[in-house]
Amino acid sequence: MKASFGFSDLWMRAVVQRVHEATVTADGHLSGKIGKGLLVFLGIEKSDTPDDVEWLAAKLPKLRCFEDQEGRMNANLLEAGGEAMVISQFTLYGSLKKGSRPSFNRAADPQLAIPLYERFVECLSGHLDKAVATGVFGAHMDIVASNDGPVTLIIDTRNKDL
């Protein structure tokens, strides 16, 4: 059982954007580039587990957020032949409960977050049967994305209704 923090319990979180293309640059070097696909901003919370990683990595390729031949959002990433890029983003756990400066107390420390992030990328790559582009964990990154739609979805491993 996960600990309660006295407010809405949120766990591994992803903000997913459908893109025409996206690039990420870290320390002046191109780290990742994709064409049509999903740009995934991944936040890892202190009590996330490998089960959260597995569930989310299996869910993303199945998201029916691409247009089919009739122009309806019925195709998933695999059917659309798209790519994926994953960017670590601890700021998804920023809390403004006590003022104007965000607190990131719920974000996982790197000792936990890095292995879960790397496992997530590995699992997602396995589900897609292709490499997944990434940023550089903990680095300042410049991300350029050409949003498609726009279509933006929030997925939370413990609040599966989002």
- Cα–Cα distance measured from residue 125 to residue 129, given in angstroms and rounded to the nearest whole number: 6
pLDDT of residue 160: 55
pLDDT of residue 120: 97
Instruction: Name the fold adopted by 13-156.
Output: D-tyrosyl-trna(Tyr) Deacylase; Chain: A; (3.50.80)
- Cα end-to-end span (Å), the chain: 21
**Residues of the chain below pLDDT 70:** 1-10, 159-162
pLDDT in tens, 82-125: 999 999 999 998 888 888 999 898 899 999 999 999 999 999 99
pLDDT of residue 2: 41
Instruction: Please give the model's pTM, rounded to 2 decimal places.
Output: 0.90
Token couple for 22 = 């996206």
Distances from the Cα of 89 to the Cα of 13, 20, 23, 99, 141, angstroms? 9, 21, 15, 21, 10
pLDDT of residue 161: 57
Structural domain boundaries of the chain? 13-156
**Which residues does the annotation mark as catalytic?**
89-91
H-type helices in 13-162, by residue range? Answer: 50-59, 77-80, 110-128
In 3D space, the residue among 122, 90, 88 whose CA is nearest the CA of residue 108 turns out to be 90
